[in-house]
Structure 1
Amino acid sequence: MPLTIETSQTPECHFSEWSITTKNRHKLIEIIAYLYLRQEENAMRVIGALEPRRRAPKGKVAQNVVRKLTAPHAEDVELFRNGTDKEKESAKKRMHTSMIHRDGLLFQHVSWVAARMAVPNGYMTAPHVRQADKGFDGFIVDLDDDGEEIVRIVLCEDKASKSPRGLITSNVWTDIEAILRGERDDEILADLVTLLKSVPGIDAETAVDEVFWEGAREFRVAVATGENQRKDGEFQHIVAGFKAVAGGLKSSRSAAVLAFDEVRKGLALLAEEVAAKVVEITDV
């Protein structure tokens, strides 16, 4: 499998620790490369151990993908080295921002793979195309056996951070609280209808109208971080307070951590490998 997933139970949620092993790393890289190229069917074929179908790249998709996977950008590095003091300061800020945006988008792709492994028959949104997109990082929708009614809606939050605890408490918990107050119902509705319209044999708007909102809604929080965040051999402290914030049954709350020796270096290496695979796939 492209990721190793080790699960455990905590009072807060269903908790998983993800890992990328040497044995399955090449498979994860290939899946993510196809996802960046917007070839979700080929990504699914790789997950299912099937041969991908050759598709000619459109326009400058491959070049754009490689740029998104590259941080910092060469022009900012040049300015930081040789520019004026003002140019150096601006370039430094852009370099930092570009790495954060690259890592956030890359981890969304890793999280999509984990979600597909956990819910192989679910329907889910593809990872974002644009870096630093606002809105939800992803949706997972489960339908009943007849494929006509929504059984559950999982709202996903994905974060990559050197200091994840502060990000969770200041950002993720406030997002969940806003959702529970109904402040983002229109966004959820729009994304759900768009996703379900791609599902054959379902009336998307009717399915959304008939769902028991509070009963079907679940939350999933995934974090990429460094091994230095492990405490007493575990990462559960990162999502402490999940139960108090989200409420509901424990089955409605899940969390996961993907740990690197050093998160920025780990994601930078993964991005470099995915970019090389994109070039190999597309012959650019």
Structure 2
Amino acid sequence: MPISLEYYDHPTLCHGQAWTITDENLLAEQIARVALGQSRHVQKIIAGTNVGPPASRASAAQGAIGLLTVPPGEDPWHRDGWIFQVISWIAAQKADPGALIRPPQMIHALKGFDGLRLELNDGEVVAATIFEDKATDDARKTVRDLVWPEFKLLDQGDRENVLVAEVVALLETNREVDPDLAIENIIWKNIRHYRVSITVGKFHSTNTGRVKVFKGYDKIIEGNVSKRGGEVFYVEHLRSWMSSLAEKSIAHVKLMVAAHV
């Protein structure tokens, strides 16, 4: 695995994991495969299944490289945001391999939830976790001004139709679950959980710093602390690191395609 996870718990406020990149080259390879549309293969690898790599066709390479490239004259935020969503998805797969987790979106800045995870018990959805992933240089301001207002609206029922549609689509990938029966629980507020993943600097990667980043979470999302997830990824020089990772992923895309020419 390219990412190690260290669990933490701030009683009454939130719980989650701190991510550390343990194999940047492998991470770049897995991001490349997701960009090529091979998230299912990456999911199997994370779950420990011994499977050979799928064919990587030249026709898919252009779109994959496009996801990993900043268009001339544009800021890198959309590209970096997409890469961070993939990293978040990889971390979520490792943390909870038994859950149903929606694959990353394949379009920059696509409207909708950054991610969605369903936990099932005897064919019922017991937790539907909405992801919010932010690659930012200012963790606290981003959480306070962007994430908390979004979570508050969602917990009040905003975009419930979108949530139900995404839950049904994800449930339909599991033959052991009847989506029509499982979806009955989604309208109940107590099964909606939240997970914010954010890049942080050195201070905010500490216990004290995390508490400051996620201050107010318990006021926005009330109830049991299990509903409030907070993932942190400490990285210095975020934009240059993302640029380097994107270049490594592009190199993997080209190698994968060349291997199947």
**Structure-2-length-normalised TM-score:** 0.91
Does structure 2 conserve the Cα–Cα contact (< 8 Å) formed by 1:176 and 1:246?
A: yes
Q: 1:115 to 1:232 in 2, by over 3 A?
A: closer
- The number of equivalent residue pairs is 258
1:246 aligned to 2:221?
Answer: yes
Does structure 2 conserve the Cα–Cα contact (< 8 Å) formed by 1:8 and 1:16?
A: yes
In structure 1, C-alpha distance between the alignment counterparts of 2:188 and 2:237, rounded to whole Å: 39
1:207 aligned to 2:208?
Answer: no
1:223 aligned to 2:170?
Answer: no
1:176 aligned to 2:175?
Answer: no
In structure 1, C-alpha distance between the alignment counterparts of 2:26 and 2:192, rounded to whole Å: 32
1:115 aligned to 2:115?
Answer: no
Give how far 1:234 is off: 3.5
SS of residue matched to 1:202: coil
1:16 aligned to 2:17?
Answer: yes
- Cα RMSD over matched residues? 2.0
Opposite residue 29 of structure 1, the aligned amino acid is: A
**Unmatched tracts of structure 1, length 5 or more:** 77-90
Counterpart among 97, 104, 112 of residue 81 in structure 2 = 104
In structure 2, C-alpha distance between the alignment counterparts of 1:210 and 1:162, rounded to whole Å: 38
Q: 1:183 to 1:276 in 2, by over 3 A?
A: same
Give the structure 2 partner of residue 84 of structure 1.
Answer: none
Counterpart among 255, 260, 263 of residue 235 in structure 2 = 260
In structure 2, C-alpha distance between the alignment counterparts of 1:210 and 1:222, rounded to whole Å: 26
Identity %: 29
Counterpart among 118, 136, 140 of residue 165 in structure 1 = 140
In structure 2, C-alpha distance between the alignment counterparts of 1:38 and 1:4, rounded to whole Å: 24
Q: 1:231 to 1:141 in 2, by over 3 A?
A: closer
Give the structure 2 partner of residue 32 of structure 1.
Answer: 31
SS of residue matched to 1:56: coil
Query: Any idea what the Cα deviations from partners look like across 1:101-145, whole Å, max 9, x if unmatched?
Result: 00000000000011001111100111111001111101100111x
Does structure 2 conserve the Cα–Cα contact (< 8 Å) formed by 1:2 and 1:47?
A: no
Give the structure 1 partner of residue 2 of structure 2.
Answer: 2
Give the structure 2 partner of residue 185 of structure 1.
Answer: 160
Does structure 2 conserve the Cα–Cα contact (< 8 Å) formed by 1:31 and 1:47?
A: no
In structure 1, C-alpha distance between the alignment counterparts of 2:129 and 2:207, rounded to whole Å: 30
Deviates more, 1:37-46 or 1:99-108: 37-46
SS of residue matched to 1:60: helix
Does structure 2 conserve the Cα–Cα contact (< 8 Å) formed by 1:226 and 1:263?
A: no
Counterpart among 116, 132, 136 of residue 113 in structure 2 = 136
Q: 1:230 to 1:251 in 2, by over 3 A?
A: closer
Does structure 1 conserve the Cα–Cα contact (< 8 Å) formed by 2:101 and 2:117?
A: yes
Give how far 1:231 is off: 6.6
Opposite residue 64 of structure 2, the aligned amino acid is: V
In structure 1, C-alpha distance between the alignment counterparts of 2:235 and 2:91, rounded to whole Å: 16
Does structure 2 conserve the Cα–Cα contact (< 8 Å) formed by 1:225 and 1:262?
A: no
Deviates more, 1:238-247 or 1:26-35: 26-35
**Unmatched tracts of structure 2, length 5 or more:** none
In structure 2, C-alpha distance between the alignment counterparts of 1:232 and 1:151, rounded to whole Å: 29
Q: 1:210 to 1:219 in 2, by over 3 A?
A: closer
Give the structure 2 partner of residue 79 of structure 1.
Answer: none
In structure 1, C-alpha distance between the alignment counterparts of 2:205 and 2:127, rounded to whole Å: 31
Query: Any idea what the Cα deviations from partners look like across 1:249-281, whole Å, max 9, x if unmatched?
Result: 011111011111111111111111111111111
Opposite residue 39 of structure 2, the aligned amino acid is: E
Bigger Cα Rg:
1
Q: 1:279 to 1:190 in 2, by over 3 A?
A: same
Does structure 1 conserve the Cα–Cα contact (< 8 Å) formed by 2:204 and 2:212?
A: no
